[in-house]
Structure 1
Amino acid sequence: MRKEPRQQRSRHMVERIVAAGQLVLSRDGYARFATTRVADEAAISPGSLYQYFRDKDELLTVLMERFWTETGDRVTASLADRFTDPPERLIPDAVEALLSAMEYDSQLLRVVVEEVPPRYSEAHLHALRRRIHDLGSAYLAGRAPGERSGATRSWVIVAAMEALSVRWVLERPPIPRELLIEELTALVTNYMNGTPTL
């Protein structure tokens, strides 16, 4: 069980270790990630690191929790005061917020998505998706025509936007950012306004 920091000095040390861990993971990748490298980067002894993190697995779990929580914070902070906006304004703002959050540390995103085993991220990524899904469901309730529920539409939109945003950030296809925002906005708008097919 990880030692919970109670004093300011201890909290500062945990933040120092986490920041070093993010840098090492981003720079060296999952295969070369080791607590000794993190300790070196943080300029502390391995023993000091182990006072706060039992082992590499525990540190990686905290790193993934921090990564996905901060990604979610960036998205929701960008949209916090916009949920009364009409869809034609909110949708492109939401696309922009999601792209910006994914681009914030694209190298770390690449390692997290392509290298780190899913077991470290699953719970935290699910919590992020749920957070954004719940916001979308609340916004969509009563706003789009048809019999489809806001929760279902929100799930489809969040899943599609996440997948397309991650692919664009990691693959960097020859599609300008502005054009991608236009296309994703059209995709979501048409879906929201379209008639469901059976």
Structure 2
Amino acid sequence: MMAESRSNSRIRPKQQRAKETRDRILESATQLFAERGVDDTSTNRIAAHAGMSIGSLYRYFADKDEILAELRSRLLAELEEQFTAAVLTGLSLDPGESFAVSLRGIVHALVEHRALVRALTARAALDGLGFGELERRLLALTRAYLVHLLGPLPDDELDVKAYVMVGVGLASSVRIGLDAPANLDRERLVDETAAMVGNWLRSAS
């Protein structure tokens, strides 16, 4: 047991250093993609920005596309986490308030990563970033929420309502988080959108 414990203590620091190095590469790539765009950022530039050799970078990522894939994956995971937490919080709230919590969480994440999202979407449509897969997972969560709120409904009715909610939510969060005019208050835009969806849901209950 003692030998095993000593072995584990040797492994953990290496794993931690590897994680820190990987995160440093991703942080450098994020900053450069935001400043220069994806196409004008090479792996050599990312390595230099991260303070390492290109050979060290290639120990963690095979190429720029693999870095992009990891950044996309992390972004989508954060959006899904925000939405899931909001759905759980919203189970005890009024429908409009529940939708506002979900919308506000996704808007906040998009605003926080706006430069990266813009850099990634300069190369691909939102669906190319994996939003289609994200939407499918959000539909399942929204469907469960609607059953909780409205009770058992025919499958087609649940599917339609879930599709409308997720479609409105994602489209609105992208517009509010990335493209809202400077003279419009984001919080008010979220509240107005949530009020409309809340009224629609209340009329169905």
| Shorter-chain TM-score range | 0.7 to 0.9
Spell out the pairing of 1:128-147 with structure 2 (5 A cutoff): 128-141=134-147, 143-144=149-150
Q: 2:66 and 2:105 mapped to 1: Cα distance?
A: 30
User: Aligned-pair distance for 1:66?
Assistant: 1.4
How many percent identity over aligned positions? 28
Aligned to 1:112: 120
The amino acid of 2:123's aligned partner reads V
Secondary structure at the counterpart of residue 141 of structure 1? helix
Q: 1:188 and 1:99 mapped to 2: Cα distance?
A: 16
Deviates more, 1:165-174 or 1:49-58: 165-174
Unaligned runs of 5+ residues in structure 2 are 1-13
Q: TM-score, normalised by structure 1?
A: 0.81
With over 3 angstroms needed to count, the CA separation of the structure-2 counterparts of 1:183 and 1:37, relative to structure 1, is same
With over 3 angstroms needed to count, the CA separation of the structure-2 counterparts of 1:156 and 1:179, relative to structure 1, is same
Unaligned runs of 5+ residues in structure 1 are 1-5
The amino acid of 2:118's aligned partner reads R
With over 3 angstroms needed to count, the CA separation of the structure-2 counterparts of 1:74 and 1:23, relative to structure 1, is farther
Aligned to 1:17: 25
Per-residue displacement from partner, 1:78-136 (whole Å, max 9, x unpaired)? 444332333143122222222212211222122223x12359x6473233223322221
Q: 2:99, 2:197 within 8 Å by CA — same for their partners in 1?
A: yes
Spell out the pairing of 1:13-52 with structure 2 (5 A cutoff): 13-52=21-60
Match of residue 169, structure 1, among 177, 180, 187:
177
- Greater share of helix: 2
Q: 1:125 and 1:8 mapped to 2: Cα distance?
A: 31
| Count of aligned pairs | 188
Aligned to 1:3: none
Match of residue 188, structure 1, among 177, 192, 197:
197
Q: 2:108, 2:177 within 8 Å by CA — same for their partners in 1?
A: no
Matched, 1:53 2:61: yes
Q: 2:87, 2:102 within 8 Å by CA — same for their partners in 1?
A: yes
Q: 1:58 and 1:169 mapped to 2: Cα distance?
A: 26
Secondary structure at the counterpart of residue 123 of structure 2? coil
Spell out the pairing of 1:79-90 with structure 2 (5 A cutoff): 79-90=87-98
Secondary structure at the counterpart of residue 90 of structure 2? coil
The amino acid of 1:50's aligned partner reads Y
Q: 1:55 and 1:112 mapped to 2: Cα distance?
A: 16
Q: 1:102 and 1:60 mapped to 2: Cα distance?
A: 17
Aligned to 1:158: 166
Of structures 1 and 2, the larger Rg is shown by 2
